[in-house]
Amino acid sequence: MILGIGNDLCDVRRIERTLERFGERFLQRVFTDVERKRAFAKGAPAATLAKRFAAKEACAKALGTGFRNGTFWRDMGVVNLPSGRPTLALTGGAREHLERLTPPGYEARIDLTLTDEEPLAAAVVVISASPKA
Q: Is residue 57 annotated as involved in ligand binding? A: yes
Q: Is residue 117 annotated as involved in ligand binding? A: no
Query: What is the four-CA torsion angle of 109, 80, 92, 75, rounded to 10 degrees?
Result: -110
CB 67 within 8 A of CB 51: no
CB 10 within 8 A of CB 54: yes
CB 5 within 8 A of CB 126: yes
Per the annotation, binding residues for Mg(2+) are: 8, 57
Per the annotation, binding residues are: 8, 57
